[in-house]
């Protein structure tokens, strides 16, 4: 005889089986089960992803750092573009040639000689280089100042160590310096090219400034995308951390 049959005959409930409580002398409605399930219920609102959350303050500061870097780059690129736009416009016009009136509504264009064009190109390269340096200088000044304030506050509030703050400051300053230089270079080339094509006045200013600003912001994102920003921040932070 099997063990299950013997249990049924003597009234011992099989684990997991619902039996008639009258047969085994248990109170009405009693059920026997083979095991008891225990469910651990966490209090309402318990966070089960601890360690993966970023505080709202950290997110806000990260967004501020990103926005300040973009603004600093754009301003520096615009300043670099404007620095020598007047001279580049004159050079561009000279490369195009000089218009001489020959009648009431007629003009002829005297083309510049090869020597004059070469001299103009040499001078334009000097002017564009100057604008590039101006963009880099103001990128470093504006971006570095904002970064110093931001990281200094984070050190005072205990959100960063001194080594981490200096690493972030170095990365921010290099990023805005390079992006300001990129904006000044692009804006200067645009001013020279368009003026050589005969564009002048407000359209020239708007186009050169717009391209200079766009190139500066694009350069800033390029520095971030290539990993140069993170590399500088981590390297400087590690060096200072070890020396401390």
Q: What is the pLDDT of residues 131-141, one digit of tens each?
A: 999 999 999 99
Q: What is the pLDDT of residue 188?
A: 94
Q: 176-193 pLDDT, tens per residue?
A: 999 999 999 999 999 999
Residue with token string 């409580």: 21
Cβ(56)–Cβ(64) under 8 Å?
no
Q: What is the pLDDT of residue 87?
A: 86
Residue 240 has pLDDT above 80, yes or no: yes
What pTM does this model have?
Answer: 0.68
Q: What is the pLDDT of residue 236?
A: 93
Residue 91 has pLDDT above 80, yes or no: yes
Residue 47 has pLDDT above 50, yes or no: no
Q: Please, which pLDDT band fits residue 196 given cuts at 50, 70 and 90?
A: confident
Residue 35 DSSP class: S
Cβ(190)–Cβ(212) under 8 Å?
yes
The residues near 33 (Cβ < 8 Å, ≥ 6 apart) are 15, 16
Q: 26-38 pLDDT, tens per residue?
A: 555 555 444 444 4
Query: Strand, coil or helix: what is 101?
Result: strand
Q: What is the pLDDT of residue 59?
A: 57
Residue 41 DSSP class: P
Cβ(65)–Cβ(150) under 8 Å?
yes
- Of residues 33 and 236, the one with the higher pLDDT is 236
d(CA 194, CA 203): 10
Token pair, residue 23, equals 């047969």
Helix axes 114-156, 201-225, angle to 10 degrees: 50
Q: 142-164 pLDDT, tens per residue?
A: 999 999 999 999 999 998 999 99
The residues near 19 (Cβ < 8 Å, ≥ 6 apart) are 13, 32
Q: What is the pLDDT of residue 54?
A: 46
99: enclosing H helix or E strand: strand 98-101
- Of residues 21 and 112, the one with the higher pLDDT is 112
Cβ(176)–Cβ(139) under 8 Å?
yes
d(CA 204, CA 190): 9
Cβ(131)–Cβ(89) under 8 Å?
no
Cβ(233)–Cβ(174) under 8 Å?
no
């Amino acid at each position: 005889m099997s063990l299950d049959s013997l249990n049924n005959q003597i009234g011992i409930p099989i684990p997991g089986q619902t039996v008639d409580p009258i047969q085994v002398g248990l109170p009405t409605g009693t059920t026997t089960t083979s095991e008891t399930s225990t469910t651990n219920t966490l209090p309402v609102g318990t966070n089960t992803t601890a360690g993966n959350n970023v505080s709202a303050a950290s997110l806000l500061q990260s967004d501020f750092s990103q926005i300040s870097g973009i603004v600093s780059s754009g301003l520096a690129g615009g300043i670099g573009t404007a620095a020598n736009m007047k001279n580049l416009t004159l050079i561009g016009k000279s490369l195009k040639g000089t218009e001489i009136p020959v009648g009431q509504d007629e003009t002829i264009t005297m083309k510049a000689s090869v020597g004059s064009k070469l001299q103009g190109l040499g001078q334009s390269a000097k002017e564009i280089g100057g604008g590039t340096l101006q963009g880099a200088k103001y990128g470093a000044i504006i971006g570095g100042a904002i970064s110093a304030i931001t990281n200094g506050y984070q050190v005072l509030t205990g959100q960063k160590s001194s080594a981490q703050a200096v690493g972030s400051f170095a990365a921010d300053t290099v990023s805005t310096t390079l992006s300001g230089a990129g904006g000044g270079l692009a804006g200067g080339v645009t001013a020279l090219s368009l003026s050589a094509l005969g564009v002048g006045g407000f359209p020239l200013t708007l186009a050169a400034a717009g391209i200079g600003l766009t190139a500066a912001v694009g350069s800033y994102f390029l520095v971030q995308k290539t990993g140069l920003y993170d590399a500088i921040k981590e390297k400087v932070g590690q060096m200072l951390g070890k020396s401390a």
